[in-house]
């Protein structure tokens, strides 16, 4: 099974460096990584070029013009650029532990998409980690317990590693709370629903839209919680001025059987 990891980014090269360091040490290297760039400046291009030379897996930079917050379009462009069978989506501020890719692949199952969870880092801890280039992906569980006691992180539960089992399929129709910073699906299923809907403007709900359309298409939710944790670096809250309009779009989708994105992956075919 050919696997691709798609990492979105925008002008945050220090965070992206920490993320790419995590992928360099994955305990399986048989994947390709595509940096889905939402219009960053040359700092990001140079960083990706540096890691392209260092990586043992294929690493590509898929850039689009900066025309505001458009992660859905960036993901669609990267998705169109890969021929992988299975695709893992995450963000350029989410540092993976060394078993992240392997565990997504191990849990992958026909007819299902996976939704994982994350551990949020505090602002001060994030600043220290980036300034000192701490190897977050190498920290032991004991170190994370200490970080939790210091309130450097918000929780510990996602660090548990539970095996596959029927409990992961207990909520097959769940869409609320599933985020594409820790999400994976079969590429054929993503093509069937026409990828992300770029009709959404600004921050909010384009990931929920994708999940709901997958459910409409008969693809079920399988939980990857307590299997595929990520360490989410702190950042300022994004502009949410478009959220009411995005919510209106999502409400319309929920009231319909629609499967395909109105403005999606097909435009890059």
**Residue range of the domain that includes 244:** 3-268
pLDDT at res. 253: 96
- Low-confidence residues of the chain: pLDDT under 70: none
pLDDT at res. 201: 80
Share of the chain above pLDDT 70, in %: 100
β-strand 59-63 against 112-115: which pairing, if any?
Answer: unpaired
Residue that is written with structure tokens 């992300």 in the block = 196
Other CB atoms within a 10 A radius of the CB of residue 184 amount to 27
pTM: 0.97
pLDDT at res. 169: 98
pLDDT at res. 41: 96
pLDDT at res. 179: 95
Residue 214: which of 107, 131, 93, 112 has the closest Cα?
A: 112
Residue pair 158/224 in contact (Cβ under 8 Å)? The answer is: no
Residues 81, 84: Cα–Cα separation, whole Å: 9
Angle, CA 105 vertex, CA 85 and CA 23 arms, to 5°: 95
Please provide the DSSP assignment of 32-46 as one string.
Answer: EEEEEESS--HHHHH
- Tell me the per-residue pLDDT of 56-114, one tens digit each, with 9 for 90 and over: 999 999 999 999 999 999 999 999 999 999 999 999 999 999 999 999 999 999 999 99
pLDDT at res. 243: 86
Residue pair 220/111 in contact (Cβ under 8 Å)? The answer is: yes
pLDDT at res. 269: 78
What is the CATH number for 247? 3.90.550.10
How many folded domains does the chain comprise? 1
pLDDT at res. 203: 82
Residues 116, 230: Cα–Cα separation, whole Å: 8
Residues 172, 211: Cα–Cα separation, whole Å: 11
pLDDT at res. 239: 73
pLDDT at res. 117: 96
Residue pair 26/98 in contact (Cβ under 8 Å)? The answer is: yes
Q: Is 153 helix (H, G, I), strand (E, B) or coil?
A: strand
Task: List 200's β-bridge partners, or say none.
Answer: none
DSSP-derived secondary structure letter, 120? E
Other CB atoms within a 10 A radius of the CB of residue 255 amount to 8
């Amino acid at each position: 099974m050919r696997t691709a990891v798609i990492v979105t980014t925008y002008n945050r090269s220090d965070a992206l460096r920490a993320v790419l360091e995590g992928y360099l040490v994955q305990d399986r290297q048989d994947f390709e990584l595509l940096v889905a760039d939402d219009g960053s400046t040359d700092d990001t291009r140079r960083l990706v070029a540096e890691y392209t030379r260092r990586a043992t897996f294929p690493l590509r930079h898929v850039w689009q013009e900066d025309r505001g917050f458009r992660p859905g379009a960036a993901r669609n462009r990267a998705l169109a650029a890969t021929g992988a069978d299975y695709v893992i989506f995450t963000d350029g501020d989410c540092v993976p532990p060394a078993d992240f890719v392997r565990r997504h692949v191990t849990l992958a199952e026909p007819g299902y998409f996976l939704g994982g969870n994350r551990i949020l880092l505090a602002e001060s801890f994030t600043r220290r980690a980036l300034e000192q280039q701490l190897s977050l992906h190498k920290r032991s569980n004991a170190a994370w317990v200490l970080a939790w006691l210091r309130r450097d992180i918000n929780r510990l539960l996602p660090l548990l590693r539970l095996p596959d089992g029927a409990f992961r399929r207990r909520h097959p129709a769940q869409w609320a709370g599933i985020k594409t910073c820790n999400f994976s699906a079969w590429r054929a299923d993503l093509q069937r629903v026409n990828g992300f809907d770029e009709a959404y403007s600004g921050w909010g709900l384009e990931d929920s839209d994708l999940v709901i359309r997958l459910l409409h298409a008969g693809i079920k939710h399988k939980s990857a919680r307590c299997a595929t944790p990520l360490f989410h670096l702190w950042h300022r809250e994004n502009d949410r001025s478009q959220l009411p309009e995005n919510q209106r779009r999502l409400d319309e989708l929920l009231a319909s059987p629609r499967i395909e994105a109105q403005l999606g992956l097909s435009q890059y075919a």
